[in-house]
Amino acid sequence: MTRQQLERQLAEHHAGFATRDARRLAALHAPLGTFASPSHGVVHGRAAIQEVYEYWYTAFPDFLLSWESAIIDPPRAALFWAFEGTAAGPFFGDVRSGSRVKMAGAAEFEFGDEGILAVRHVFDFSAVLINTGVLKVKPAS
């Protein structure tokens, strides 16, 4: 896979996020691709990957993801991203509806002829759960 092909795939991925289209995003993944994140663990296959996207879009109807230029070394790419959205629920428990969430993370992609073979996201999931009221923190004494 060439750098230009990877750049096109990443641009299409970014466009899928801009339109909040879970089906379009999942179609960019290889049929037996993997998606790893702190929130969902590792899921396999397009249908399961689409469910992850749908879950986040339901929990955050105004979901917005932006990212910086990718670091590309075919067949891999890595990027830093920023997320923001307003929790509407459900979201891994009883969510405090209306909670504004902002977080930063990173993703590493591996591409192949069938699309995204694997993606791994890294972010502070505990902070998101605290921010949405799902996870309660006891104040320090």
pLDDT at residue 90 greater than cutoff 90: no
**pTM of the full predicted structure?**
0.88
pLDDT at residue 74 greater than cutoff 70: yes
User: pLDDT-based confidence at 15, cuts 50/70/90?
Assistant: very high
pLDDT at residue 125 greater than cutoff 70: yes
Q: Which residue has the higher pLDDT, 85 or 45?
A: 45
Other beta carbons within 10 angstroms of residue 36's beta carbon come to: 15
Query: Domain 3-131, what fold?
Result: Nuclear Transport Factor 2; Chain: A, (3.10.450)
Query: What's residue 12's pLDDT?
Result: 95
